[in-house]
Amino acid sequence: MNQPTNRILNLLAAGFLCLALGFWFNLFGRPAVPAEVPLVDLAFIATNTARLSAADLIRTGGDTSGLECYACHDKKQPLKLKFDAESNIVLPKEHEDIVMGHGGHKRNNNCFNCHDETNLELLQARDGRQIKLVDSTQLCGSCHGPTYRDWEAGVHGRTSGYWKRELGPIDRKGCTSCHNPHAPAFPGRAPAPAPHALHPAIAQPEKESAHAH
């Protein structure tokens, strides 16, 4: 090996040695540690509906013992509703967990507007039709016609499954899978967090004014 080649190799070795020492003693500084990106709240990516309705519970074979009205009520004695001096319905202590808030006036806060007074385990539409709990969306549609029309078209509510019906069925959730039938106003939800940049934004220098001061 000739002398110029040895000189070049020695210079390269010395250069790499200097770089190694520089990194070892942190002479060149270290890159800024990026801020930790927080995990997304699972509530924003969950696929379950806002609530578990009685219809969903029946359809999926869940525990429906809480829906058996005549486990406590006497089927031979019609249920009488009680109201206070301001026409607010007085719920028995067994149903104190129910919040009555269906609509902006008190006329809808009456159990028998939706439940069949002759059979508490059935619903009753405005035209007198008896409707099973599992078909409660039909009851909602008897009053909320435009919304029911949008629901049928897939504009309102949540539909999952297959767009191409030949590949499989669709699953269109009913009204009570999102709305509480006793107080159907949907509660507000916090917005999902904004995207997190992988690299911090670099401040751009302000442009100088085109006019001299």
pLDDT 10s digits, 150-166: 999 889 998 888 888 89
pLDDT band at 1 (very low <50, low <70, confident <90, very high): low
pLDDT 10s digits, 157-190: 988 888 888 999 988 999 999 999 999 998 777 8
Residue 116 placed within a domain: yes
pTM of the model: 0.69
Residue 172 placed within a domain: yes
Q: How many domains does the chain have?
A: 1
Question: Distances from the Cα of 94 to the Cαs of 32, 80, 100, in angstroms?
Answer: 60, 15, 14
pLDDT at 7: 84
pLDDT at 205: 53
Domain span at residue 81?
68-177
Who contacts 2 (Cβ-Cβ below 8 Å, separation ≥6)? Answer: none
